[in-house]
């Protein structure tokens, strides 16, 4: 049994862990929250599935960046909910696309991290 207390933070290592977490979250949200929240989680899950299919965000550098980006999107959505800004809520859902600026920045960070890791690794 995994310890989910605050002192032991679980860091996903593969995109399948992110996908599994989103699937469970989707089930919970669809039962407990309004449709707009469930739609956001489903959009996120579909986007991660597409990433997995295209194998564009995998590896030890990519997954933490992807999780942080998803967390930022969810936090933006939560802020919109708190302010009752329905138009902004819909806009946050549109962030889960390959051509969105925030995702492009994540891809660039991951590429930079991979290049740095390759430069640090000893030549074989």
Q: What DSSP letter does each residue of 54-68 carry, written as one string? A: HT-S-STTHHHHHHH
**Does residue 90 lie in a domain region?**
yes
**Does residue 7 lie in a domain region?**
no
**Does residue 9 lie in a domain region?**
no
Question: Looking at residue 102, what is its pLDDT?
Answer: 92
**Does residue 4 lie in a domain region?**
no
* Helix-strand-coil split of the chain, %, nearest 5: 70, 0, 30
Q: How many domains does the chain have?
A: 1
Rounded to a whole number, what is the largest CA-CA distance in the chain?
56
User: What separation in angstroms does the CA of 108 have from each of 55, 91, 124?
Assistant: 16, 22, 26
pTM score, two decimals? 0.71
**Does residue 6 lie in a domain region?**
no
**Does residue 1 lie in a domain region?**
no
Structure letter (DSSP) for residue 15: H
By residue range, what is the domain housing residue 110? 15-120
**Does residue 113 lie in a domain region?**
yes
Q: Which residues of the chain have pLDDT under 70?
A: 1-15, 19, 22, 24-34, 123-124
């Amino acid at each position: 049994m995994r310890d989910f207390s605050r002192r032991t933070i679980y860091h996903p290592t593969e995109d399948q862990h992110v996908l599994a977490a989103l699937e469970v979250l989707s089930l919970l949200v669809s039962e407990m929250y309004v449709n707009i929240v469930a739609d956001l989680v489903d959009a996120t899950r579909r986007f991660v599935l597409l990433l997995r299919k295209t194998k564009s965000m995998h590896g030890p550098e990519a997954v933490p960046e992807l999780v942080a980006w998803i967390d930022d999107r969810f936090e933006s959505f939560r802020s919109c909910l708190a302010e009752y800004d329905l138009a902004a809520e819909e806009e946050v859902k549109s962030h889960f696309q390959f051509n969105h600026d925030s995702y492009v920045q994540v891809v660039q960070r991951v590429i930079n991290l991979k290049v740095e890791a390759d430069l640090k690794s000893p030549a074989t």
